[in-house]
């Protein structure tokens, strides 16, 4: 009798496990489908100088976060502690600190933490990405790959790094996320 009970319990548990792994499957497949989606419907970037369209090689968006940004214009790294820490390092490495200050509150260049900006579009993450990527006419050099050293695709920050830098800047910005 005791054995029968045990067998029943095991059978019940086993059935439960099968049910679980079955219900996991569609979710995993769904995840894959949405990962593949961005290629078809990328957002259009425009420069900060004149609002003219700029083309950035989609292949440079080579992480899940960068792909999501390319598809939606939202920066998934905002609020992500690991990305924020990396973004802070990149901000120092690429001398952003020299002009914008160690806290991004301004030095030679303007503060980057808002709520008002020289370029209103920088309150939004797509806009700030474009400003960093393509620069301005007023003293802000472009830092994007191939733009910092024109023609050299091995120099400069990659989209994923720009998104981390922006996530760090937003972490200093009193609740402004740029993803609104
Ligand atoms: C040589 C100094 C210098 C460096 C280095 C520099 N910037 Fe700038 N940045 C400026 C100046 C000056 C402006 C104002 C430009 C203007 O008014 O057109 C500016 C503007 C900006 C803006 C727009 C701010 C607004 O209010 O709209 C952002 C964003 C920005 N910089 C981010 C960065 C980041 C990120 C880096 C590092 C990758 C960086 N900058 C490196 C000088 C610099």
Residue-wise pLDDT for 15-64, tens only, equals: 444 444 444 434 434 334 444 444 456 899 999 999 999 989 899 999 99
What residue segments make up the domains of the chain, in order of their start? Answer: 62-171
Q: What is the pLDDT of residue 165?
A: 98
Give 169: exposed, middle or buried? Use CB within 10 Å, 0-12, 13-18, 19+: buried
Q: Examine the pLDDT at 173 and tell me if it is beyond 80.
A: yes
Whether the pLDDT of residue 136 is over 50: the answer is: yes
Cα of 13 to ligand 1 centre, how many Å?
A: 60
CB of residue 122 inside a 6 A radius of ligand 1: yes
Mutational test site, ligand 1, from 49, 92, 100, max ligand atoms within 8 Å of CB: 100
Q: Is 104 in the pocket of ligand 1 (CB under 6 A)?
A: no
pLDDT in tens, 76-117: 999 999 999 999 999 999 889 999 999 999 999 999 999 999
> Residue range 141-161: average pLDDT?
80
Q: Fold for 62-171, please state it.
A: Cytochrome Bc1 Complex; Chain D, domain 2 (1.10.760)
Sign of CA dihedral 34, 39, 40, 41: positive
Question: How far does residue 35's CA lie from ligand 1's centre (Å)?
Answer: 32
> Tokens standing for 166?
């922006």
Query: Which one-letter DSSP state was computed for residue 144?
Result: B
Per-residue confidence (pLDDT) for residue 37, from 0 to 100 = 41
- Per-residue pLDDT, 8: 44
Q: How far apart are CA 77 and CA 84, in angstroms?
A: 7
Full-model pTM: 0.81
- The residue to mutate among 49, 84, 110, 141, having the most atoms of ligand 1 within 8 angstroms of its beta carbon, is 110
Which atom, in ligand 1's list, is nearest to the CA of 166?
35
């Amino acid at each position: 009798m005791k054995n029968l009970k045990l067998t029943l319990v095991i059978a019940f548990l086993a059935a439960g496990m099968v049910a679980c792994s079955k219900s996991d499957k569609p979710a995993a497949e769904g995840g894959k489908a949405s990962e593949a989606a961005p290629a078809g419907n990328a957002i259009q970037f425009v420069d900060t100088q004149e609002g003219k369209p700029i083309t950035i090689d989609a292949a440079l968006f080579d992480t899940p976060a960068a792909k999501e940004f390319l598809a939606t214009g939202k920066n998934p790294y905002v609020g992500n502690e690991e990305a924020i820490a990396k973004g802070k390092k990149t901000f120092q490495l690429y001398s952003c600190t020299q002009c914008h200050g160690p806290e991004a509150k301004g030095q030679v260049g303007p503060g980057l933490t808002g709520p008002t900006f020289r370029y209103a579009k920088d309150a939004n993450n797509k806009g700030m990405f474009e400003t960093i990527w393509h620069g301005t006419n007023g003293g802000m050099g472009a830092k994007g790959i191939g733009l910092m050293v024109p023609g050299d695709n091995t120099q400069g920050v990659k989209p994923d790094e720009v998104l981390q830098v922006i996530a760090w800047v937003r972490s200093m910005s009193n609740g402004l996320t740029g993803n609104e």
